[in-house]
Amino acid sequence: MLATCQEKASDTLAHLAGAGRALCLTGNRHFPAVPSRTSHRRVLNLEKVTIMAKVTFLGTGAMGSRMAMNLLKAGHDVTVWNRTPETAAPLVDAGASQAFTPREAVEQAGVIISVLRDDDASREVWLNPEWGALAGMPASAIAIESSTLTVSWVRELAQIMSSRDRPFLEAPVSGSRPQADNASLIYFVGGYEGYVDHVRSLLLQMGSDVFYVGSHGAAAMSKLATNTLMGVQVAALAETIAILIREGVDVVRVLDAVSGTASWSPMAGRVAQSMLAQQFAPLFPVELIEKDLDYMLRSADEAPAMPAITGARDAFREAMAQGLGQEDMSGVVRLFVK
């Protein structure tokens, strides 16, 4: 059972977690430019973001709060808004200004970064006719959407921004809370390439790499592809551990051996360690990986059946039904090992 594995795992599995960052097949090579699907009636004469840039964060949850804190430490003038105002209290204590609507938050901003839960939250925060951010966004500001969203909504938002002559980039991140704390997030950036150099230095104060991947929607697809590969592997690892336990083998030794093969990843090490130690404090909650797998499947509506992705999504969905939605995604192992 898991309790027995926990006693063995503390020393032997320590190295399985690895120290590698999120997989990026291109290493440090930036993708070539791809013309944006969104028309640009004019390219605004933006100045590159400086150390004293006024930055607004829309959303100060687990990721946004850490990203905003790094910009405060770097010396930026930061304004924050969150649907639950008290969540932003540590940022305010560190020197951020707090606004009580997205519209108010962006009125003096040079850069606006949103880190929100899903499509619905993004739509409401940007487009609410009374208090939404777009209504108050200065013409000289640039909007950066760093939420994990569907491709269709990103492209729709890009078209709306373009119709208002507002510069807009999508820039979702790969990485979790530790990477956000350490400013080592990986940025996937999509949109008009001419805007990227204006904000690259700012993004590198929150991350270690910035990859331009093409037109609007390409970054959303990059993020969903990353999380899809992760989610499928986590679900498969949970099932594999369950089978190993039922066969009565030394699970730690088997995984130690497997970790030396090409099938293993740094992420698999951390997740295996979490599963065997029964430690499910959320780094990436079940409910969010389920959402991202579902978003990926929405892009495959007219494609052939996607059994691997669907199976993984359904496993996390079942974990949510059993009350595990706010646990780390590694908690999906509880479906198979009691």
Of 215, 248, 282, the residue at which a domain comes to its end is 215
**Residue the block writes with tokens 């029964």:** 278
Is the domain of 10 the same as that of 79?
Answer: no
pLDDT at residue 35 in the model: 37
Is the domain of 153 the same as that of 170?
Answer: yes
Residue 338 and residue 336: Cα distance in Å, rounded?
7
Is the domain of 290 the same as that of 229?
Answer: yes
Burial profile 101-128: b = 16 or more Cβ within 10 angstroms, e = fewer = bbbbbbbebbbbbbbbbbbebbbebbee
In a domain, 47, yes or no: no
In a domain, 45, yes or no: no
pLDDT at residue 42 in the model: 43
Is the domain of 197 the same as that of 231?
Answer: no
Q: Give 10-residue mean pLDDT values along the chain (338 residues).
A: 51 44 34 38 52 87 98 96 96 98 97 98 98 96 98 98 97 96 98 95 97 98 98 98 97 97 94 96 97 95 87 98 98 95
In a domain, 302, yes or no: yes
Instruction: Say if CB 276 and CB 241 are below 8 A apart.
Output: yes
Is the domain of 100 the same as that of 149?
Answer: yes
Is the domain of 233 the same as that of 143?
Answer: no
Is the domain of 202 the same as that of 59?
Answer: yes
In a domain, 7, yes or no: yes
pLDDT at residue 17 in the model: 46
144: which strand partners?
A: 113, 169
In a domain, 32, yes or no: no
C-alpha pair distances (Å), 131 with each of 23, 80, 136: 39, 15, 8
In a domain, 39, yes or no: no
Is the domain of 236 the same as that of 203?
Answer: no
Is the domain of 282 the same as that of 158?
Answer: no
Helices (H), 182-217: 196-203
The residue range of the domain holding 274 is 2-21+223-335
Residue 102 and residue 59: Cα distance in Å, rounded?
9
Q: Tell me, what CATH number does 230's domain have?
A: 1.10.1040.10
- How many domains in the chain? 2
- Could you please report the per-residue DSSP string of 239-307? HHHHHHHHHT--HHHHHHHHTTSTT--HHHHHHHHHHHHT----SSBHHHHHHHHHHHHHTTTTSSP-H
pLDDT at residue 53 in the model: 81
**Residue the block writes with tokens 């039904």:** 321
Is the domain of 190 the same as that of 79?
Answer: yes
Of 215, 246, 270, the residue at which a domain comes to its end is 215
pLDDT at residue 49 in the model: 57
If you ran DSSP here, which 8-state letter would residue 205 be given? T
Q: Tell me, what CATH number does 197's domain have?
A: 3.40.50.720
Of 187, 215, 243, the residue at which a domain comes to its end is 215
In a domain, 48, yes or no: no
- Could you please report the per-residue DSSP string of 146-189? -S---HHHHHHHHHHHHHTT--EEE--EE--HHHHHTT-EEEEE
In a domain, 28, yes or no: no
Is the domain of 94 the same as that of 165?
Answer: yes
Is the domain of 250 the same as that of 275?
Answer: yes
